[in-house]
Amino acid sequence: MRTPPRSLLLATQNADKIIEMRDVLRDLDIELISAASLEGIPPVDEDQDTLAGNAVKKALTLSQLTGMIALADDTGLEVDALGGAPGVYSSRYSAPEATYAANVARLLREMQNIPESARTARFRCVIAIARDGHVNTVEGVCEGLITATPRGTDGFGYDPVFWVPDLRKTFAELSLAEKNLISHRGRALRKARAVLEEIFR
């Protein structure tokens, strides 16, 4: 496979993550290629028990497979009243192939008796950048509260129930630019951008 010299593989099949990644990285002079647009890229089994473990595994696997520099993200929602769950299992919280809606429904069910003051949570995003068998990792965190009911229609995943106290809105009530400015992924991507500027100097 021929790869352009200044290109970065976004090592995820998640179209929602790709949109946020492209938005933050768009002003880099690098071609961003989504793994979903390449043929023959198998899904990577996210079987590690940490976010960093999964992010590193995804980035290294796809970098080795394509010969490209690869960027992967693994994200978890940590809810204090649930002892940090769903955490690294956020995508499979209600079932192995769960929909976003089913995961949100389970979360709200588990938390139905938790008072507002104890509904603190955070999103944590680890991004790994792999090249030639080497990996860099960066992390971004965003603190918030879990609402009692979903609000808003933008974003994805747990966004409709993740309330940002300073903005008095859920992530799903924010535009893409507003979410990226404060979100776990936006913060991690801006750190990743600094690493990429070094790599592609």
**Mind telling me the catalytic residues?**
74
State the minimum distance, in angstroms, from the CB of residue 156 to ligand IMP. Answer: 6
Exposure string of 16-48, with b = 16+ CB inside 10 Å and e = fewer, is ebbebbebbbeeeebeebbbeeeeebeebebee
**79 or 155: CB nearest ligand IMP:** 155
Strand partners, 163: 145, 170
| CA atoms of 101 and 103, how far apart (whole Å) | 5
State the minimum distance, in angstroms, from the CB of residue 1 to ligand IMP. Answer: 25
> Site residues (CB under 6 A) for ligand IMP?
14, 46, 73-75, 77, 90-91, 100, 103, 155-159, 171, 183, 185
**67 or 165: CB nearest ligand IMP:** 165
The three-class DSSP label of residue 139 is strand
State the minimum distance, in angstroms, from the CB of residue 30 to ligand IMP. Answer: 22
**156 or 200: CB nearest ligand IMP:** 156
Query: Nearest residue by C-beta to ligand IMP?
Result: 157
* Token pair belonging to 41: 């890229």
Of the candidates 65, 69, 48, 44, the residue with the CA atom closest to the CA atom of residue 134: 69
